[in-house]
Structure 1
Amino acid sequence: MEKEPNILYQKFQTTGQERIRLACALEGFFSEEDGKETEKSAYGQYLKRRIRPAMEALIREENVGKMELLEEQGWFGAAELDQFLAIARKEHRLESLVWLMKLKDSKYGYKDKTFEL
């Protein structure tokens, strides 16, 4: 079983396909097994640079727990959060949408629009 994380990291390092690299990074970053900190750090650095595709994947999976862990890293702000809300709405991912809306409300709030002339 010890070889599996190394295989995952090897695939992460060598693949030229971003879709596969993202999947490896997500799996490795959230792995419960005690892996090497350098590997976990590499996954984290990659996910930080690719936060939008990472969150899109988690929204499609409706994996709120992992979205929460990524949010705790502080890798995205209000503008990205609005994009994630739009994705969840478009993809009809209700659980993700509700969590993202609660996050927006607690962190940034909703601004009332004024229609003054």
Structure 2
Amino acid sequence: MAKTIMIVDDSASLRQVVAISLKGAGYDVVEACDGKDALSKLDGRKLHLIISDVNMPNMDGISFVKAAKQLPAYKFTPVIMLTTEAGDAMKQQGQAAGAKAWVVKPFQPAQMLSAVAKLVLP
């Protein structure tokens, strides 16, 4: 059975690029356009990994990760932040919220897939 990964980003074109890479590597993909939309899709289904942007309208990525980690079903779901933010302060906020990895845009699909393969839940 394929593993399911959620992509949270307000850029439809970026979600598409990430989804194509992930689907090509055999993953199922759930897309959300911001943190609020993503939270509404955390309905108890098994997610093996979440990839989230930081800067989004309605609810930013750090707030989303904090909220997701409060839900028992997603407490241990690994999170990769995929963002233009490269500053250490932002990375520390992400780690404190529960992010396991930080991939800076523009990214190489191979680099992202290798982070995904390392972190995705069994």
Category of TM-score, reference length = shorter chain: 0.3 to 0.5
Which has the higher Rg, Structure 1 or Structure 2?
Answer: 1
The one of the two structures with greater contact order (alpha-carbon pairs below 8 A, sep at least 6) is 2
Q: Which protein is richer in helix relative to its size?
A: 1
Task: Give TM-score, length-normalised by structure 1.
Answer: 0.33
